[in-house]
Amino acid sequence: MLRKDLLRVSRAGGGYHPQFADRSHRPLAARAIGVFQGHVDEPRGRLDAALEDLEADADDFKLVRGFAALLERDATFETRAALPPERVRRTVFEAAESVGGVVDDGDRAAALATAADRLGTDVDAVEASLYADRDVNEVLSSFDPRWDPDELLEQYNLSLAQTVLFDATEVRIRSSDPKRLVSAVKRLGLLYEIRRRGDGAERELVVTGPDALFRRTRRYGTAFARLLRSLAEAPEWSLEATIDDRGTDRELHLGPDDVSVPGVEPVAEPTYDSGVEADFARRFANLNLDWELSREPEALAAGARAMIPDFAFDYRPGGTAPDAPALRVFFEVMGFWTPAYVEKKLDQFGSIDDDIELLVAVDESLGVGEEIADLDHRVVTYSGRVRVKDVVDALRAYEDDLVEAAAASLPAELVPEADVIGLESLAADHGVSVDALESVAFPDHERVGRTLIRPAVLDAVDAELDAGLSLSAAESVLEGYGIDDASATLSRLDYRVEWEGLGGGTLAEK
Amino acid sequence: MLTLRYEDGTIRLEGLDESDATVASLPGAAWDDRGLVARAPAWRYADLRDALADRGVEFEDRVASPDAERLSLSHAYDLRPYQEEAVSSWREQGDRGVVELPTGAGKTVLAVDAIAALGVPTLVVVPTIDLLDQWRRELETEFDVAVGQFGGGEQTGGPITVSTYDSAYLRAEDVGGDFGFVVFDEVHHLGGEGYRDAARLVAAPARLGLTATFERPDGAHEVVAELVGPKVYSADVDDLAGEHLADYEIRRVEVALDPEERAAYEEAQGTFVDYLKRSNLSLRSGSDYRKLVMRSGTDPEAREALLAKQRARRIMMNADAKVERLGRLLDRHREDRVIVFTAHTDLVYRLSERYLLPAITSETGAAERREILERFREGTYSRVVTANVLDEGVDVPDANVAVVLAGSGSEREFTQRLGRILRPKADGGRALLYEVVSEETAEERVADRRR
């Protein structure tokens, strides 16, 4: 964090853009470090003058002062005086009284001589010590910079962004590490609520403080600045803030491209609450199911609190097209915890939004399975470790629901335009799973294996095939009609394949 | 049942439902989605309590800690008639409001009387470390209770606690529920947006503000009236002069810049004025000055102009002739107790080294500044030089001569400094104030404006 008078910000286009340092400022950063290194054993007054000279060379003096403010954290200053200055002052001022007050050079010399006498030293030592402990007279005794020029730029950018947040009245945050974020929010005495953005799929944490309920306040600005430090250690995050810029509200946007933390590698691997969860994640990942497991999903609003489930399963039977239906099932593992914890969890489960699908794995010993099921969530119980099979079965139940729902949205009959079309691509066209097509009739096509083919096409294909034709020749005929499921089609046309050793085969009548 | 609790600068109203119409009808209360609870700002606690009592709503009050002791306090002061009047009209206004009295009229005394009358845990908020020391000393002398302190390197709470505005701002959420009475010395500080929280986040129902000037051009008094209460008593210098305040006399001393200083001054001032002309700024209004400061962030010429202005001011303030003239004034008042003011820290140290005067500035450590003031009070030192840090209400007994070098021209600062030597003197001697200015400079116009 920097002092507010060192803030550099552009309001171009009505926005609020901190003027971050970039690579072009590296030489300036290096010189600032050099000025400190070059003034070890010199008084602060001279260091300050040298930094002021550097300001003249820079396009913005505040940038130099910002660097200097950061570097000063690694500088040690000390008082170098022959005698303790405070004692010298007391003696000198008493001596001045004893000569009847100093009003000219004569009185002054007399008072200093008296003081030197009382202190058992000479007048020069008294004069040199008198204010040796003032800041400007202190000596830079050592300077051990923790940052190299690149890190100084990085730290400057972090500090600058923190300083901007001093004037923030509200921040809105997304993070790939929401658990850590929520605990930082609590630790800093802030309050949050979870808000859905845009189409509702994305959630963000809106962070303010208690008194924000009654007025827009900058009181929590320093806490927001601290929060940024925690936030910026996550690999993926974004922050929007409302800045009270002397009475005008301005929007600030920050992300990992603007701000990072020097010397800290973003933590890519999420941490797990318990060994049960880690174990489950590993075993599930080995199965290669249609469900994709994501760890540390976004926070859910559970009443006034955030609940961050352990995992989410994503199921996209219709592919990743924007309007294809997708299902996200959140998964929470409840291990062996205290009754108070279970109570709190049940309370959370009861207060999350109705349209959220939540699957809960409960340890048998907790004996709360039925209560959770009553709260309209699915439950698997476990003892010791969560059986992947149980979870997969539970997910299948969601799949069945989904198939049912998708099938209900389809007409009873479908007449695709193409002469030949695979069920999978037809399902994708309608944004449903193949299973959902089971209950649909295709009056103009015949279903052959996983392909729909018009009868006229089947007849044409049949006319080109004969017993004794090689399999590869037959396949190229089929391909010519856009049919890639050779074995099902040949079987439908009453051919079988006679295999010849390990090589090809020829068609034969069944 | 409805329960009131203090939480982080707010009053939690537990036991109300979101749909409950009571929430919107209670003073200051609002529904908070973040905790699914109703809250009101802490400073509305008294109103809230009254509103609930008026309606006959039963509630449990957990704001004040149940083991909060009633303090049995008495003091040895003999209040002057106007001090008594001030306290009784404050009490008539429901223990809320601001008393306006000139510096030196004994505002501490009437606050001590109010604290004793209420006998509840009390927080006293003051603007400077010096006042912190002064109040603490006073309260410890009068009352037989532990006096806590927030600020000046100490953070200890007590049934009576003295705090700086800074510490009160920083600690408001932690301690805002602990006091039944809060006194704001130099209450106009609450006009500043940050310091305002020292009143907003504190639940204390009884509130007393003290100031020498209630009405303020920046409108701060409106905020103060809302958070602390209206002006309940006022007396000005003319009402009290002669009777309770020492008589005083102002002497103005003009000194000339030497030729070298004059040339450097003209050059710097010229650079500044040229820039103003070129950029159509007049500096007749504060907003023009802000514009200039803002421009100086990006425009090197504006920055150069601003630096030139600072140079000119420094030359004017540090004029050798002023330093020499101070020597003559000190010579004339060898038998008196002299306090020398200047706004410029570097000049304070120059004067301290030149005339071997004890110095107090923002750089002076708490222990040393306490020692210097103590020694000045008891007579070991007869003179002190200081920057603006003593501006407000610090008690420097028996100083009868003040010398002001290079004043900033703000009216408040000027009167407060005057107040410093308005302490009644034992022998009834006339107090003297010298104002030393440079001839024909911007500074002189400032001094003229004040008359």
Give pLDDT, residue B114: 95
* Same domain assignment for residues A181 and A202: yes
Residues A120 and A173 in one domain: no
Instruction: Say which of A60, A100, A104 has its CB closest to residue B327.
Output: A104
Q: Which residues pair with A168 in a beta bridge?
A: A243
Domain containing residue A315: CATH number? 3.40.1350
Name, in order, each residue with C-beta under 8 angstroms of B300's C-beta and a sequence gap of 6 or more: none
* Statement to judge: residues B91 and B235 lie in one domain: yes
The CA distance from B13 to the nearest CA of chain A, in Å, is: 13
Residues B372-393: what's their mean pLDDT? Answer: 79
Average pLDDT rounded to a whole number, residues B82-103: 92
> Count of domains in chain A?
4
| Same domain flag for B109 and B214 | yes
What's the whole-number average pLDDT of chain A?
83
Assess whether A321 and A441 both reside in one domain: no
Instruction: Please identify, among B181, B213, B240, the residue that sits at the C-terminal boundary of a domain.
Output: B240
Task: Tell me, yes or no, whether A262 and A321 share the same domain.
Answer: no
To the nearest whole angstrom, how far is the Cα of A303 from the nearest Cα of chain B?
8
A469: three-class secondary structure by DSSP: coil
Quote the pLDDT of residue B243.
58
Of the candidates A61, A213, A303, the beta carbon closest to that of B32 is on A213
> Are residue A284 and residue A259 in the same domain, yes or no?
no
Task: Give the DSSP H/E element, type plus range, for residue A141.
Answer: strand A139-143
Q: Are residues B134 and B24 in the same domain?
A: no
Q: Who contacts A336 (Cβ-Cβ below 8 Å, separation ≥6)?
A: A363, A365, A366
Same domain? For B92 and B222 the reply is: yes
Question: Quick check: is A54 in a domain?
Answer: no
Task: Tell me, yes or no, whether B263 and B234 share the same domain.
Answer: no
The answer to whether residue B149 sits within a structural domain is: yes
Q: Distance, in angstroms, between B355 CA and closest chain A CA?
A: 5
Q: Using CB atoms, which residue from B34, B353, B363 is nearest to A191?
A: B34
Please answer whether residues A113 and A105 qualify as being in contact, where contact means their C-beta atoms are separated by less than 8 angstroms: no
Q: Are residues B35 and B95 in the same domain?
A: no
Average pLDDT of chain B, as a whole number: 82
Which tens digits make up the pLDDT trace of A401-439? 777 777 777 888 888 888 888 888 888 777 777 777 887
Domain end residue (candidates: B296, B317, B338):
B317
Tell me which residue of A56, A58, A38, A55 sits closest to A46, measured CA to CA.
Answer: A38
CB nearest A210 (choices: B9, B358, B368): B9
Structural domain includes residue B225: yes
Most confidently predicted of A27-31, B25-29, B234-238, B394-398: A27-31
Q: Do both A194 and A287 map to the same domain? A: no
Kindly determine whether residue A100 and residue B193, on different chains, have CB atoms separated by under 8 Å: no
- Among B416, B385, B388, B415, smallest CA distance to B403 is for B385
Task: Using the predicted structure, report yes or no on whether residue B40 has a pLDDT greater than 70.
Answer: yes
Query: Is the confidence at residue A7, as pLDDT, over 50?
Result: yes
Task: Note whether B284 and B226 are same-domain residues.
Answer: no
What string of DSSP letters covers B44-105?
Answer: GHHHHHHHHHHTT--EEE-SS-TTPPPP---------HHHHHHHHHHHHTTSEEEEE--TTS
Q: What is the CATH number of the domain that holds B437?
A: 3.40.50.300
* Interface residues on B facing A, Cβ-Cβ cutoff 8 A: 7-10, 28, 30, 32-37, 39-41, 173, 193-194, 197, 200-201, 297-298, 303, 327-328, 330-331, 334, 349, 352-358, 363, 368, 371, 380-383
DSSP A78-97: E---SS-HHHHHHHHHHHHH
Which domain-ending residue is among A252, A268, A284? A268
CB contact under 8 Å between B298 and A60, yes or no, is: yes
CA A63 remoteness from chain centre: 29
What tens digit of pLDDT does each residue of A293-343 get?
777 677 777 776 777 777 888 887 655 555 555 778 888 877 655 566 667
- Residues in chain A whose Cβ is within 8 Å of chain B: 8, 60-62, 86, 89-90, 92-97, 100-104, 108, 111-112, 127, 130-131, 134-135, 189, 191-193, 208-211, 213-214, 217-219, 303-304
Residue B20: CB atoms within 10 A of its CB come to: 15
How many folded domains does chain B comprise? 4
Q: Is A336 found in the same domain as A251?
A: no
pLDDT of residue A340: 64
Instruction: Say yes or no for a CB contact (<8 Å) between A62 and B297.
Output: yes
pLDDT band at B113 (very low <50, low <70, confident <90, very high): very high
Do B43 and B106 belong together in one domain? no
The pLDDT of residue B205 is above 90:
yes
Percentage of chain B surpassing pLDDT 70? 84
- Between chain A and chain B, the number of residue pairs with CB atoms below 8 A apart is 98
Are B156 and B205 found together in one domain? Answer: yes
Instruction: Pick the last residue of a domain from A363, A384, A407.
Output: A407
Q: Mutate which of A4, A57, A93 to disrupt the B interface (most B C-beta within 10 Å)?
A: A93
Q: Clarify whether residues A399 and A280 are in a common domain.
A: yes
Q: Which domain holds residue A111?
A: 81-131
Tell whether A235 is covered by a domain: yes
Length of chain A: 510
Q: Is B203 in contact with B131 (CB distance < 8 Å)?
A: no
CB A134 to CB B363 under 8 A?
yes
ipTM (interface predicted TM): 0.72
Q: Are B244 and B101 within 8 A, CB to CB? A: no
A245 and A310 both lie in a single domain:
no
Residue B32 lies in a domain: yes
B36 and B104 share a domain? no
Position B396 pLDDT exceeds 90? no
Residue A469 vs residues A458, A489, A499: alpha-carbon distances, Å: 17, 15, 12
Residue A288 and residue A398 in one domain:
yes
Q: Give B212-236 pLDDT, tens digit per residue.
A: 888 877 778 888 999 999 999 998 7
Residues A388 and A289 in one domain: yes
Q: What is the mean pLDDT of residues A86-97?
A: 96
Nearest residue in chain B measured CA to CA from A126 = B353
Decide if A257 is inside a domain.
yes
Are A108 and B354 inside 8 Å of each other by CB?
A: yes
Q: Which residue range(s) make up the domain with B297?
A: 259-317
Q: Which secondary-structure segment (H or E) carries A461?
A: helix A455-464
Statement to judge: residues B332 and B392 lie in one domain? yes
Domain boundary among A268, A296, A313: A268
